[in-house]
Amino acid sequence: MRWQLYKKDPRFVFLSLIFLAVLLPWLPLGASTNYVLRIMTTAVLYMILALGLNIVPGFTGLLDLGYVGFYGIGAYTSGLLSIHYDLSLWVILPLAALNGALWGTILGAPTLRLTGDYFAIVTFGFSELVVLVLRNELWLTRGPMGLPGISPPSIFGHPLASDWEFFYLILLLLMIVLLVVTRLQNSRLGRAWFAIREDEIAAQCCGVNLIRYKVTAFAISASIGAMGGAFYAKWFKFIHPDMFKFWESILILCLIVFGGMGSIAGTMLGALILIPLSEVLRAVLPQGLFNARYLIYGLVLVLMMRWRPEGLVPFKRAQAKKAKLAQERLEI
Amino acid sequence: MRKLGCFLFAWILLTGATWADSIKIPIAAPFTGPLASFGEGMKNGALLKGEEINAAGGINGKNVDIVLEDELCDPKEAATVATKLANDPKVSVVVGHLCSSSTLAALPIYRGAKLPAISPASTNVSIGKMSPYYFRNVYRDDFQGLFLAKYVKIVKGYKKVAIFYEVNDYSMGLMLAFMKEAKKLGIKVLGTEAYTADTTDFKPQLTKFKMMKPDAIFIPGYAPQGTLIISQARSLGMKNVAFFGADGLDDDLMVKNPDTEGLFVTTPFLPDKAGPQAAGFVKAYRKKFGKDPNWFAANTYDAVGIGAQAIKAVGRNREKIRDYLASINSKDRAYDGVAGKTYFDKNGDCLKEAYVKKIKNGKWVSAEKQLQ
Amino acid sequence: MNTILKIIKLSKSFGGLSALREITLEAKQGQIVGIIGPNGAGKTTLFNCLTSLYYSTGGQIEFQERPIVPEVAETKRRLIKSCAMLFFVLGLIWVPLFWSSIVPHTFFKVEVVLLGIFILSIRFFLVRGLMRFQIWAWGLIFVFLISDLWFSIWWLTHLLSLGPMIGTGIPLYYFTVPWGIIAGPFSIYLISQLVLRKVRQLYGFRLGPDAICRLGVARTFQNIRLFFNLSVLDNVKIGFHVQMRSGVLGILLKTRSQRDEEGLTEKEAFKCLRFVGLDGRAFDLAGALAYGEQRRLEIARALASNPQLLLLDEPAAGMNAQESSELIRLILKIREKGITVLIIEHDMKVMMNLADNIYVLDYGVLIADGTADEIRTNPRVIEAYLGGGTAHAAT
Amino acid sequence: MENLLDQSSLFLQQLVNGITLGGVYALIAVGYTMVYGVIQLINFAHGEIYMLGAFLAYTMVTVLGIPFFAAFILTILVCACFGIILDFVAYRPLRNAPRLAALITAIGMSIFLQNLAMMIWGSQIKSYPRDMFPAIFLKPALSIGEVSMTWIQVFILSITVVCMIILHLIIHKTKIGTAMRAISQDKTTSALMGIGVNRVISFTFAIGSAMGGMAGVLVGLYYNAIFPTMGYIAGIKAFAAAVLGGIGSVPGAMLGGGVLGIAEVMGAGYISSEYRDGISYAVMIAVILFKPSGLIGRQIGEKV
């Protein structure tokens, strides 16, 4: 009896998936293992970013177009800290998360009173301003010269170099973020967010302080984005303002829309499918049509909203499954 | 679980390398995107050199396969392309990366895989000391800025100059070098104004320059924005102000615009000033592509030549090729290419002469007075 | 039986159209009070003003002697307005002084100019907040007062080092001396007032809907506002939101108190569902319930926040006879728990044998109040309801 | 004294540049204002229609050899049809979907159109051929001392003013104008009153897109540079102008465009040209925060 229950339990499904991922570096892929590993590391990084962004549109129903601003803030925090003070990744991650949360609150507090559309535009303005500051404040970020020479992360003194080490590191980060997001989802905070998403007026009358919970959602989402940025800087060893353009926000938004806004499994699935897709397209598409990839992402957004707005793993079905599971657990 | 498994399998097929035995020399440059016209020059130069090598029996009997890798001048793409090349055992030397930001992104990956790379077009100053595996057969921005300041002072004799730079590493590197030398030579820099890659309205900044009444305006940016700046300046009534720029403006796009009469730029390659092989190269290039080669084509032609020569000499081991390239470090051992003699210093940079050419009634013509 | 809710001369107008005019109403502890009236009489508007979803334009509401909607005297409004204006003017003078004294000494000219604009815009934002009695406005004022004080002291002590006013060439101390004389004492006085709580007390604050729910006022809605994509159990758990204490940290570290609280909430939620007879459907989505069950779920959610006062907005609408009699039994069970109930309803059968006291609203005006029998025979009520001169009593 | 003359003529020239830029932003902003006014949707893809206008005129003149003014009118018509198609394909099915869905569709369409143009016309900067428009455009129409205003600037400003007047008349005097205002108040009720809601909304899209396409051609003429990503930046600035003027009011869009154009040029001229785009973003955020109804707009009350 306990085994059937276990089989359907989402936690078990995630754990087995991650266990399978751990085997990936040892699969016999021959020459292109590193290339495959690098693509999968990017995919897992975008999974983390998508989980972070999912908290704002997915849980609370607010469209956040400025997510790449926090991603950039996290990356530059990590880059600058490791160049000037040579801190290790384990010190930088919490600092980057705090910095992201700080900026999330500074942006969120005054703007979360606005209606949906205006809020989306203000977050968009914020991320463009972040890119401008990153590009023009030479004294801080060396502007368009970028930040080369960021030291790679090191565990117990051994600096990580090969791709499978980075892959395991990003898997570890994914598990931490997954833990955080699932705990939040099934807690008082998560229910308050879902209430805000379903019906703000009713949520208010149930005692949910709208502004406070929206700002908390925004701050947590920003800190996860900044953490992703911190890893990215350490992994890439070079960051440049043009890497944090508006397009990244659209790509991450596309992941959660494709996967299913509000459902954790859907967001992860979305990232797992769409990110490697761009590499496959690079091999398939002829030389000239190279930026046709962005065309396809734009199309995905339009078609998904048209025919399946709830995404691959609809939030409603996930809730029903969760409720069924709770019922069975109660009967045992 | 089932979905994940079959997905991975289908994917391995796609990225599995083709096993036919030929020497692969990849060219990493922006073939699409805003700077596609520069990438095109590199493509033609490399293809031409590839044909010539194969016509002469290839390297140690094996044919040379020129592979074009498009990186859109975007650091993220460059890193993905670099990983792909670093993992390909058939690649032993890379000719590539035009934009400095994508070069900086690819550097750590090449160093990690001990893969030597020769850049025919990346002129940023800070790249040299970054990695022992990186060489380039083009001069650096600071040398170019210094040369331009000297040329402006001695040959043109301008006293008051304004600088209109684009906010990117190439353009700012040139500006800083030029201003340092200009201060030494007594040229007064009236002011500097900035623009971004996607600006089209330069009138506010140009109006400011108009009021300063400079003798000349230095545009260290790229050609697409250069033509706009010059024609918008002319329409603002700045008729007698001269314009000059660096290798970024050296492109046919400038010739099509009638306002750019009298514009002069520095360039590493002039058909009539270079050696005898240059004449052969220019004829072959015009026959194959129907237009004169710009300096990107010439430098890439040389870079592929240097790479082929290294492979011929020491085989396909990456470490040995790197040592061979590092050994070309003096004038007598230099590679005598189309764009002059190329030899590398300890940072992998090279010291090459710079020439000046200008637009005279609608054609690129080498300037009368060169500065040696 | 002390009065739990007192509404004095409450009025609300949507720009010209006055929905409520001078409503005075009382509810005693443990009583069931009914509000009836023809459609568009302003009943739902009254509920929305009570739970401050709307800002009422006049009058006062007190719940257990605590002011929900503060009574704003005209003198207070004028004092706040003048204080806001003075602050606005000081701000306008302060920013050019800030620029002129800071910019010459710094390398980051552009950044300082932007900082000045930013501070100026925050001051505009602040004046708007003051005008609408927002609490955060007072917090921000405190910060600015201290910065004004600090700068006036710094300017007065460094008179000689100040250069000319930017762009005009006039020496700066022509401005900083009068500024110091005005701003210094004014800041000190206002800070002391803030600290001694006098000004803050004078200044009543408006409570938001969530604060009112926390005080113990729960409500249901005329058109059902449930969280349809969440399970029935979760809907009720959200009702428990005000009674739970776990914060972000507690959740992330899954501390013992957080786990216990979740377990307790689950048990309580089941009890609530059993109370309204929905425990069989605990794990279905709220959207999958029948209409009557959704009505009862909304009541269960309202009860979950352990209210003293329950506002029911047309609970029996669209229900057949059997369902409404069940509803009456449920409301009586609620009253036994000691919860005061305020009902808006059209179904006379439900109102007549439930409500101890009934108020009748017509076009935003209170036309009658009293026990069920008095209302039944009151001519004005009949005329309002049935219109014209028909005299027979409403059934 | 001489310096003062220079300073003032610099200021006047910047003002002229600012007003022209403002005129262009106003033309694009009208598209945003009308669409948002009627169906409360931020039409992200409107910037792309502006870009398509510029490229259509370019193709018509260079490839099809149509004379300039004929191409100008034709571009306006084609853009109008394109606006209708865009509404029909992307927004009509989502008429009563949640606002988040419509917003995401708009972003998707904008990305799709941008890259489609990049595939068709390539991503290099193209410029209108010199002989395409009558040579008189480049000669200064009136010049006082250093300050000069070319005929092309006069042409842009006159067209902007004419369009605004026509639009104002349409909205306030014609039957379809009243229908538009009715729909912006309440879609369902106006449908009950017998207004063909979808027909009127398509008409709104048509006018907005026509103006956007016109602005595209004018910008191609004035700055002589068109490239596929020009729509995205100008679009956001035009939206900032629409919000600044008061979303939903046409005179507001004109005022907002003018103010934003002048603010940007003065900012670029006097404060710092690196933060040129930043100024319009900062203005947008400040206006949304402090005065969401904009300079002229009416305060939209929240009805529970």
Pick C227's closest partner by Cβ from A110, A194, A209.
Answer: A194
Show residues of chain D in contact with B193, CB under 8 Å. 273
Rounded to 5, what percent of chain D is helix, strand, coil? Answer: 75, 5, 20
Q: Which residues pair with C367 in a beta bridge?
A: none
Same domain, B94 and B148: no
Pick A287's closest partner by Cβ from B31, B87, B130.
Answer: B31
Show residues of chain B in contact with D223, CB under 8 Å. 200-201, 228, 232
Q: Which residues pair with D41 in a beta bridge?
A: none
Same domain, B233 and B154: yes
Q: Please, are residues B342 and B352 in contact by the beta-carbon 8 Å criterion?
A: yes
Same domain, B133 and B282: yes
Is residue B11 one of the residues assigned to a domain?
Answer: no
* CA B346 from centroid of its chain's CA atoms: 20
pLDDT digits (tens, 9 = 90+) for B332-347: 777 777 777 778 888 8
Tokens representing residue B161 in the block: 């100059």
Q: Would the pLDDT of A83 be above 60?
A: yes
Of B264-278, C31-45, C207-221, D93-107, which gets the smallest average pLDDT?
Answer: B264-278
State the Cα–Cα distance between residues C278 and C303, nearest whole angstrom.
14
Residue A298 C-alpha, separation from nearest chain D C-alpha, in angstroms: 4
State the Cα–Cα distance between residues D168 and D166, nearest whole angstrom.
5
State the Cα–Cα distance between residues B323 and A269, nearest whole angstrom.
46
User: For chain B, how many helices (H) and strands (E)?
Assistant: 12, 14
Nearest to C312 by CA among C338, C342, C332, C333: C342
Show residues of chain D in contact with C110, CB under 8 Å. 271-272, 275
Residue A26 C-alpha, separation from nearest chain C C-alpha, in angstroms: 34
Q: Which of B233, B267, B301 is the last residue of a domain?
A: B267
State the Cα–Cα distance between residues D105 and A301, nearest whole angstrom.
6
Q: Do A189 and C251 make contact, defined as CB atoms within 8 angstroms? A: yes
Pick A32's closest partner by Cβ from B87, B168, B196.
Answer: B87
Put simply, whether C20 touches A (Cβ < 8 Å) is no
Q: Do B236 and D269 make contact, defined as CB atoms within 8 angstroms? A: no
Nearest to D22 by CA among D170, D171, D222: D222
State chain A's mean pLDDT as an integer.
Answer: 85
Instruction: Please tell me the number of Cα atoms within 13 Å of C44 on its side-chain side.
Output: 13
State the Cα–Cα distance between residues D103 and C252, nearest whole angstrom.
33
**Domains in chain A, start-ordered, CATH in brackets?**
2-331 (1.10.3470)
Q: Do A205 and C218 make contact, defined as CB atoms within 8 angstroms? A: yes
- Chain C residues whose C-beta sits inside 8 Å of any chain D C-beta: 14-15, 48, 53-54, 110, 113-114, 121, 124-125, 128
Query: At C300, is the pLDDT very low, low, confident or very high (cuts 50, 70, 90)?
Result: very high
Residue B218 C-alpha, separation from nearest chain D C-alpha, in angstroms: 17
Same domain, B286 and B328: yes
Q: Which domain holds residue B229?
A: 142-267
Pick B1's closest partner by Cβ from A20, A146, A283.
Answer: A20
State the Cα–Cα distance between residues A190 and A212, nearest whole angstrom.
13
Residue B94 C-alpha, separation from nearest chain A C-alpha, in angstroms: 17
Nearest to D277 by CA among B86, A136, A161: A136
The beta-strand segments (E) located in A86-208 are 147-148, 154-155, 158-159
Per-residue b or e along B297-307, where b marks 16 or more CB atoms closer than 10 Å to that residue's CB: bbbbbbbbbbb
Distances (CA, A) of B138 to B34, B97, B218, B365: 22, 12, 21, 21
**Ordered alpha helix ranges (H), B249-294:** 252-256, 276-289
Same domain, B108 and B151: no
Pick B83's closest partner by Cβ from A34, A284, A288.
Answer: A34
**Domains in chain C, start-ordered, CATH in brackets?**
1-71+307-366 (3.40.50.300), 74-202 (no CATH), 225-306 (3.40.50.300)
Looking at chain C from residue 122 to 141, which residues have their Cβ under 8 Å from any Cβ of chain A? 125
End-to-end CA distance of chain D: 63
Q: Mutation target for B interface from A27, A290, A293, A312: give the one with most B CBs within 10 A.
A: A290
Query: Does an interface of 3+ CB pairs under 8 Å exist between A and C?
Result: yes
Please give the residue that has the higher pLDDT: either B298 or A287: B298
Query: At D299, is the pLDDT very low, low, confident or very high (cuts 50, 70, 90)?
Result: low
Residue A125 C-alpha, separation from nearest chain D C-alpha, in angstroms: 5
Q: Please, are residues B29 and B98 in contact by the beta-carbon 8 Å criterion?
A: yes
B23: amino acid identity, one letter? I
* pLDDT for the residue B137: 82
User: For chain C, how many helices (H) and strands (E)?
Assistant: 15, 10
Q: Mutation target for A interface from D88, D92, D96, D107: give the one with most A CBs within 10 A.
A: D107
Nearest to B353 by CA among B271, B266, B280: B266
* pLDDT for the residue C157: 82
Is residue B81 one of the residues assigned to a domain?
Answer: yes
Q: Do D272 and C110 make contact, defined as CB atoms within 8 angstroms? A: yes
State the Cα–Cα distance between residues B163 and B165, nearest whole angstrom.
6
Helix (H) or strand (E) holding D144: strand D140-144
Q: Do D276 and B196 make contact, defined as CB atoms within 8 angstroms? A: yes
pLDDT digits (tens, 9 = 90+) for B118-134: 888 887 777 777 778 88
Per-residue b or e along A155-187, where b marks 16 or more CB atoms closer than 10 Å to that residue's CB: eeeeebeebbbbbbbbbebbeebbebbbbbbeb
Is residue B158 one of the residues assigned to a domain?
Answer: yes
Q: Do A194 and C230 make contact, defined as CB atoms within 8 angstroms? A: yes
pLDDT digits (tens, 9 = 90+) for A275-298: 888 778 777 776 666 667 788 888
Is residue B2 one of the residues assigned to a domain?
Answer: no
pLDDT digits (tens, 9 = 90+) for C6-62: 888 888 888 778 888 888 888 888 888 988 888 777 888 888 888 888 877 778 888
* pLDDT for the residue C391: 45
Mind giving me the DSSP string for D182-230?
HHHH-HHHHHHTT--HHHHHHHHHHHHHHHHHHHHHHHHHHH--B-TTH
Same domain, B178 and B240: yes
* pLDDT for the residue A332: 65
B131: CATH: 3.40.50.2300
Same domain, B96 and B197: no
Chain B residue with minimum CA distance to D273: B194
The tally of domains found in chain B comes to: 2
Pick B211's closest partner by Cβ from D6, D138, D143.
Answer: D6
Q: Do C48 and D275 make contact, defined as CB atoms within 8 angstroms? A: no
Characterize the bridge pairing of strands B160-166 and B188-195: parallel
Alpha-carbon torsion angle C262, C267, C269, C273, nearest 10: 160
Q: Would the pLDDT of D69 be above 60?
A: yes
Distances (CA, A) of B196 to A73, B71, B303: 21, 21, 31
Per-residue b or e along A116-145, where b marks 16 or more CB atoms closer than 10 Å to that residue's CB: bbbbbbbbbbbbbbbbbbbbbeeeebbbbb
Q: Which of B242, B267, B292 is the last residue of a domain?
A: B267
Q: Which chains touch A (3 or more CB pairs under 8 A)?
A: B, C, D
Same domain, B296 and B319: yes
Mean pLDDT in residue range D75-94: 91
Q: Which residues pair with B267 in a beta bridge?
A: B355
Put simply, whether D271 touches C (Cβ < 8 Å) is yes
Same domain, B134 and B214: no
Pick B126's closest partner by Cβ from A136, A145, A236.
Answer: A145
Query: Does an interface of 3+ CB pairs under 8 Å exist between C and B?
Result: no
State chain D's mean pLDDT as an integer.
Answer: 83
Q: Which residues pair with C62 in a beta bridge?
A: C6, C67
Residue C60 C-alpha, separation from nearest chain A C-alpha, in angstroms: 20
Q: Do A207 and C213 make contact, defined as CB atoms within 8 angstroms? A: yes
Put simply, whether B213 touches D (Cβ < 8 Å) is no
Pick A148's closest partner by Cβ from B17, B112, B130.
Answer: B130
State the Cα–Cα distance between residues C66 and C61, nearest whole angstrom.
8
Q: Would the pLDDT of A98 be above 90?
A: yes
* pLDDT for the residue C112: 76
Mind giving me the DSSP string for C296-361?
HHHHHHHHHT--SEEEEESTTTT--HHHHHHHHHHHHHHHHTT-EEEEE-S-HHHHHTT-SEEEEE
Angle between helical axes of A264-284 and A315-331 (0-180°, round to 10): 140
State the Cα–Cα distance between residues A143 and B5, nearest whole angstrom.
43
Strand order in the sheet with B23-29: B64-70, B23-29, B94-96, B117-119, B134-136
Q: Please, are residues C383 and C393 in contact by the beta-carbon 8 Å criterion?
A: no
D108: amino acid identity, one letter? G
Per-residue b or e along D96-132, where b marks 16 or more CB atoms closer than 10 Å to that residue's CB: eeebbbbbbbbbbbbbbbbbbbbbebebbbbbbeeeb
Nearest to D302 by CA among A56, C361, A210, C240: A210
Residues of chain D above pLDDT 90, percent: 13
Mean pLDDT in residue range C1-8: 83
Q: Which of B248, B267, B286 is the last residue of a domain?
A: B267
Mean pLDDT in residue range C148-172: 75
Pick D290's closest partner by Cβ from C14, C114, C128.
Answer: C128
Tokens representing residue D146 in the block: 């250093």
Same domain, B34 and B107: yes
Residue A143 C-alpha, separation from nearest chain C C-alpha, in angstroms: 16
Q: Mutation target for D interface from A258, A299, A301, A310: give the one with most D CBs within 10 A.
A: A301
Q: Do C121 and D286 make contact, defined as CB atoms within 8 angstroms? A: yes
Tokens representing residue C8 in the block: 């004095």
Q: Do D289 and A122 make contact, defined as CB atoms within 8 angstroms? A: yes
Put simply, whether D284 touches A (Cβ < 8 Å) is yes
Q: Do A128 and D94 make contact, defined as CB atoms within 8 angstroms? A: no
Q: Do C210 and A195 make contact, defined as CB atoms within 8 angstroms? A: no
* pLDDT for the residue D81: 94
Pick A204's closest partner by Cβ from C210, C248, C282.
Answer: C210
State chain B's mean pLDDT as an integer.
Answer: 81
Instruction: Please tell me the number of Cα atoms within 13 Å of A295 on its side-chain side.
Output: 15
Q: Would the pLDDT of B17 be above 80?
A: no
Q: How many Cβ pairs within 8 Å bridge chains B and D?
A: 85
Of A28-37, A131-140, C239-248, C312-321, which gets the smallest average pLDDT?
Answer: A28-37
Rounded to 5, what percent of chain A is helix, strand, coil? Answer: 80, 0, 20
Residue A235, judged by CB atoms within 10 A of its CB (0-12, 13-18, 19+), counts as buried
Same domain, B262 and B159: yes
Same domain, B135 and B278: yes
State the Cα–Cα distance between residues B14 and A281, nearest whole angstrom.
10
* pLDDT for the residue C394: 44
Contacts of residue A80, defined as CB under 8 A and 6 or more positions apart, other chains included, come to: A140, A141, A147
pLDDT digits (tens, 9 = 90+) for C106-153: 777 777 777 777 788 788 778 877 777 676 777 788 888 888 888 888
Mean pLDDT in residue range A177-187: 89
Q: Would the pLDDT of A235 be above 80?
A: yes
Query: At D79, is the pLDDT very low, low, confident or very high (cuts 50, 70, 90)?
Result: very high
